[in-house]
């Protein structure tokens, strides 16, 4: 990954976070597969590790969006042989432009802790399409230092998130839990 970091010029931390070194990513892939999802949209996809690992053994539509064009270029290169994977440089608002019948799962990992709960819920509800049936968000544990916000399922629902809790997977790694919501 460091060679790719130098070749594409994306931020170095992406090179230190490959799928094999982040057990929570394996758990997320397993959970998405258990949902029998039609397809996944990931906001803040980075290098698209989760999308590429959703392709085995069954193929699954995956659309990764990230604001960093350099990381998107690298993600496209890594998934160049995968026909059902697409990447776009963009933002949360871009989910409105996707084919509504292909994607029923929305994945938000590694960045919601930078946004307060009201803004996060507003961002989700103002851009949500009717086809999204599942929503996965990581929540940083309160005892983990260095994070701006700590989100909890109950608080997000009380703030207006139009989903119910399907599961809360605790301790998917040392600093986070995973909230799985469904409509």
Q: pLDDT per position in the chain (183 positions), as tens?
A: 768 777 888 888 777 777 777 888 999 999 999 998 989 999 999 999 999 999 877 788 999 999 999 999 999 999 999 999 999 999 999 998 887 778 999 999 999 999 999 999 999 999 998 899 999 999 999 888 889 999 999 999 999 999 999 999 999 888 999 999 999
pLDDT score for 2? 65
Question: What's the fold here for domain 2-182?
Answer: Rossmann fold (3.40.50)
Question: Are 136 and 106 contacting, i.e. CB atoms less than 8 angstroms apart?
Answer: yes
Phi first, then psi: what are they for 103, rounded to 5°? -125, 125
Helical spans, DSSP H, in the chain: 2-8, 23-34, 49-53, 69-78, 117-127, 153-158
pLDDT score for 5? 73
Among residues 129, 60, 119, the alpha carbon closest in space to that of 93 is found at 129
Question: Are 177 and 157 contacting, i.e. CB atoms less than 8 angstroms apart?
Answer: no
Cis peptide leading into residue 57 (ω within 30°)? yes
pLDDT score for 10? 82
The Cα 49–Cα 17 span in angstroms is 9
pLDDT score for 182? 97
pLDDT score for 146? 87
Cis peptide leading into residue 43 (ω within 30°)? no
């Amino acid at each position: 990954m460091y060679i790719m970091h130098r070749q594409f010029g994306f931020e170095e931390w992406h090179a230190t976070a490959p799928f094999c070194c982040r057990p929570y990513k394996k758990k997320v892939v397993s959970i998405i597969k258990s949902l029998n999802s039609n397809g996944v949209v990931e906001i803040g996809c980075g290098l698209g590790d989760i999308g590429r690992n959703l392709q085995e053994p069954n193929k699954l539509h995956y659309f990764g969006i990230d604001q960093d064009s350099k990381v998107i270029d690298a993600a496209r290169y890594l998934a160049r042989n995968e026909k059902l994977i697409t990447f776009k440089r963009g933002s949360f608002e871009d989910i409105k432009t996707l084919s509504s019948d292909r994607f029923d799962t929305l994945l938000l990992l590694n960045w919601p802790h930078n946004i307060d709960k009201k803004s996060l819920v507003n961002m989700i509800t103002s851009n949500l399409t009717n086809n999204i049936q599942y929503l996965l968000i990581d929540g940083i544990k309160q005892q983990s230092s260095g994070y701006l916000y700590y989100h909890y399922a109950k608080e997000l629902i009380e703030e207006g998130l139009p989903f119910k809790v399907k599961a809360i997977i605790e301790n998917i790694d040392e600093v986070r839990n995973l909230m799985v919501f469904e409509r």
